[in-house]
């Protein structure tokens, strides 16, 4: 298993722990080795290296309960990196 695949799996496990269903927020394999954070709880996909996306999920994505009815914005997440 590649490091990118491992990071994507870790990110998805963290998202499940934070209470997100896959349709609401999940990390997918993207083009050119990138990872995509996408779903109903983010206004548009966040694309970056898998390790960066894992860090965003770990450090910046709140639990589903904390997020509530709000929608994540990729630009705001990037500002916090």
Count of structural domains, the chain: 1
**CA-based Rg of the chain, rounded to a whole angstrom?**
11
pTM passes above 0.75: yes
Enter the tokens of residue 56: 């965003």
| Residue ranges making up the domain that contains 53 | 3-80
Model confidence over 5-46: pLDDT tens digits? 999 999 999 999 999 999 999 999 998 889 999 999 999 999
Query: Residue 6: CA atoms inside 13 Å, Cβ hemisphere, count?
Result: 3
CA distance 63 to 57: 10
CA distance 58 to 54: 6
């Amino acid at each position: 298993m590649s490091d990118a695949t491992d990071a994507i799996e870790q990110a998805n496990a963290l998202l499940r722990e934070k209470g997100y269903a896959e349709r609401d927020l999940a990390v997918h394999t993207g083009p050119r080795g990138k990872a995509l954070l996408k779903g109903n709880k983010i206004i548009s996909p966040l694309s970056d290296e898998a390790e960066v996306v894992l860090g965003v999920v770990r450090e910046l994505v709140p639990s589903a309960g904390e997020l509530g009815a709000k929608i994540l914005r990729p630009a705001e997440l990037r500002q916090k990196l």
